[in-house]
Structure 1
C-alpha cells in the first residue's frame, strides 16, 4: 500500500497524513469514499449467516420504545417493513471474501490493531442507541441512508435499565446523513448515534483491537508460564518460625512467587513470543478446513481467517510462533504483509520453510493461489 499517496477514501489525504491528523484525534467525514461500493452479500445471505452458530450476531429492537437485545444465532428476522430493529453480524471478513477485501483497504493501520468488519442491517428507525466505543471505527454506508449524530462527550451517563450501553445524557454536536459510499471515522470515546433513514439500511463497521493493560496481561501471563514449563522447583521454608498470626502470607512465599514470574520475563524473547501468539490467536468461532500440501510450482495465499504477524525474530500465525532468519524470514514477512507469495517466491524458500508452508496448507491456514 502506498501510504504517501492521496486517496479519495480518506478525503484526499494520504494514509500517512490521516494517521498524523485524525487517528485517535478527531473525526473525519468522507463523502463518496467508495464510489463503486458493493454489498459483500445480499440481505438473504446475511440473514442466513446470522442464523449460523459459528457466526456472531445480535438482534437489537426498540419496538414501542422498549430496548431489547437477542444474541445469535438469529433464526428469524422481523419484517423489513416493521420499523425499529437492527441486525448486527460480526466478523464478516472471516466468512466472505468480499468482506475481507473491504477490510484490507484499511491495512495502513497495523494488522495487530485491525479487528474485523461488522455489518449493521436496519429497518427504518433502526439503531443501537447513543453510545461510545473504546476503539477507533470507520463507518461505511453500503446501502440505504443513516443519520449520524456525534459529540465529544466526556460526561456520559449510561441507562441502567436497558440491555445495551446507551447514553442517557447524549449531547450531539454535529449531524450527518450518510449515503451509499460515504464514510465516517470516529476516534475512541466519541459519542455517536446512528439511525436508519428508511428501510434496507446497511452500514459496515471496521473496528480495531484495543486491549486494556489488565486484559493483555491476563492473556500473556499464562503463555509466559508455559514458556518456563515444569521446573520441578518446590517452595521450601526450612527457616520458617512458629507464628502467632497464621492468616498472614509469609514474605518468603511472596518473594518465591515474584521470582517465578520474573523468571518468565527474563527468558530471551519470551514476552515478544507471548505477545505475537496472543495477537494472532483466532477467535473462538473460527475454524479451518484441512487441505493438501501446496502443489509444486504454485503460489500461496493466507486464508481469509488467518492472522499473521512478525517481529525481529519470529513469525506468528494463528496463535503459534516460529523462529525465522535470513531469506526465509524475509519471504515469510512478505506473506504476512502481502497475504500472498508468488510461485517464484515460494520456490525460494528453504526445504525446511517449504515443509512448514506445506503444513500450514494442510492445516487450512494457507490456500493455493488460484491461477
Structure 2
C-alpha cells in the first residue's frame, strides 16, 4: 500500500494490520540493550505490573538486579525515545517520514514477559506498533465508553469490549488512530516498537502561546487614579480599575507572524530531559569544512530542525540565515543528513560549524550511538 493511499484511507480514520510490513525485521536494540537503557538515568523508563485486578506503575531507572527480581509473568518495561540512543532505532523512525516531522514524537519500545501488558487504554495520538521478537496479541474496539478505572496511576479502561483481535509476529505492524481502545498482551517474551506522534491539545497550544506573548509584550502605561474619592465599600473593585484592566487586555494583539514564530519554537523545543554533548575537541572551521565535504553531516538524534517558508527553527530557537543557506537547510531538515557539503556556501558552513560545536550536528551519518 502506498503512503498516499494509507493516508487517504486509514490515517485518523480506521485501524490497519499489515502482515510482514518489515520482512526479516531485526530489532534495533536487543533485550540486553533495552534493559541497559531502562537502567540508565539518561532514558525515561517505567515498569507496569499486573497481579489479578491490581496494577502498579514504577518509574526508572531500574538496575538490572531489580528487574531480575520480577516474576516470570505479567510485567513490562517501557523505554521512551530509543531513537535518541541508537542510530538503528532512528533509522526505523525514518521509515515513517511520509508523516511531517513536526508531527513525529518518538520511538518507544516495550519489553514484556508472557502476560505483560499496560492494560486496555486509548491514546490521544496516532501510533504504529511494529512487532519485534516474540508475539503479542492485540485487541481493538471502537467503543465510546472510555471511562478509566478510578484510583490508579495508569489510565486503564474500566470496561473494554474487543471487536477485533490479532496476534502479531515479528515484522507485522498495526496502525491505530487516536481514541481507538486497544489492549496488547505478550504471548511470549517480546519486544514491540511504538512510533508515536505529537498531537498537542488546543489548551496546550493556547497556554504556550500566551506564555510566548507574555515574554515579548512591551506595553507602556500604568494604572493611576488621581481623582480617587473616599471608598464607601473598601472591598469592592473600583469600576475605573476594572475598565482599565479591560482596556489594557484589549491592547494585546497577536499576528499570523507571531503564531508562526511560536509554532516553530514550540514544535522544536527539546524534551525536558534532553541535553546535547559538544565534541571534546571541536574541529577548526577549516578542518570542519573539509571533513564535512568528504563525510557529510547528520543532525544529532535529539535535535529538532523544522522550517516554514524561509523561517527555520532549531531546538526551540529561531535561526536567522541568509537566503543562500535556505536550500541546504531544507535538505538537512527533510533528510536529517547530507551526504556531502561540497559546494555549500560559506554562510552555511559557518552555521554548521557552530551547531557542531554545540553538539547539534555531527560529521558523517551518525546518531548518538550505533
TM-score, with length taken from structure 1: 0.89
Match of 2:304 among 284, 303, 307: 307
Match of 1:256 in 2: 248
1:31 is matched with: 19
Question: Which of the residues 104, 114, 121 maps onto 1:124?
Answer: 114
Aligned residues: 350
Query: Quick one: which of 195, 205, 215 aligns to 2:204?
Result: 215
Query: Which piece of structure 1 moves more, 324-333 or 204-213?
Result: 324-333
Runs of 5+ consecutive residues of structure 1 not aligned to the other structure = 1-12
CA contact (8 A) 2:138 2:165 kept: yes
How far apart are residue 240 of structure 1 and its match? 6.6
Change (3 A) 1:257 1:290: same
Q: Which of 339, 344, 354 is equivalent to 1:348? A: 344
State the partner residue of 2:170. Answer: 180
Asked whether the equivalents of residues 289 and 349 of structure 2 are also in contact (C-alpha less than 8 Å), the reply is: no
List, as ranges, runs of 4+ consecutive aligned residues in structure 1 with deviation greater than 3 Å.
Answer: 78-81, 237-245
- The question of whether the paired residues in 2 share the 8 Å contact of 1:123 and 1:201 is answered with yes
Cα distance, 1:217 vs structure 2: 1.7
- Distance in 2 (CA, whole Å) between partners of 1:154 and 1:67 is 24
Query: How far did 1:238 drift?
Result: 4.4
Q: How far is the alpha carbon of 1:210 from its aligned partner?
A: 0.7
Aligned counterpart, 1:233: 220
Counterpart Cα distance in 2 of 1:142 and 1:91: 17
When residues 352 and 239 of structure 1 are mapped into structure 2, their CA distance, relative to the original with a 3 A threshold, is farther
The one of 32, 38, 44 equivalent to 1:50 is 38
Q: Which stretch of the first structure deviates more once superposed, 315-324 or 16-25?
A: 315-324
* Distance (Å, rounded) in 2 between the aligned partners of 1:251 and 1:214: 27
- Pair 306,370 (structure 1): closer, same or farther in 2 beyond 3 Å: closer
* TM-aligned CA deviation for residue 326 of structure 1: 2.9
1:226-280 Cα shifts (integer Å, max 9, x gaps):
334xx372323447754646236612212213323x1xx23x7222112101110
Cα deviation 1:197-241 (Å, max 9, x = unaligned):
02x21100000011111111222222233334xx37232344775
1:327 — aligned with what?
A: 324
Q: Give how far 1:41 is off.
A: 1.6
| Superimposed CA distance per residue, residues 166-198 of structure 1 (whole angstroms, 9 cap, x where no aligned partner) | 111111100000000000000000000000002
Deviates more, 1:42-51 or 1:241-250: 241-250
Q: Does 1:362 align with 2:352?
A: no
Partner residue in 1 for 2:61: 73
Cα distance in 1, alignment partners of residues 96 and 83 from structure 2: 13
Structure 1 position 343, deviation (Å): 2.6
Cα contact 1:289–1:364 (8 A) shared by 2:
yes
Q: Is 1:270 matched with 2:262?
A: no
Residue aligning to 1:160? 150
Whole-angstrom distance in 1 between the partners of 2:196 and 2:312: 24
Contact 1:117 1:205 in 2 (8 A): yes
Structure 1 position 202 matched with structure 2 position 194: no
Larger RCO of the pair (alpha carbons < 8 Å, separation 6+) = 2
Q: Distance in 2 between matches of 1:181 and 1:217?
A: 40
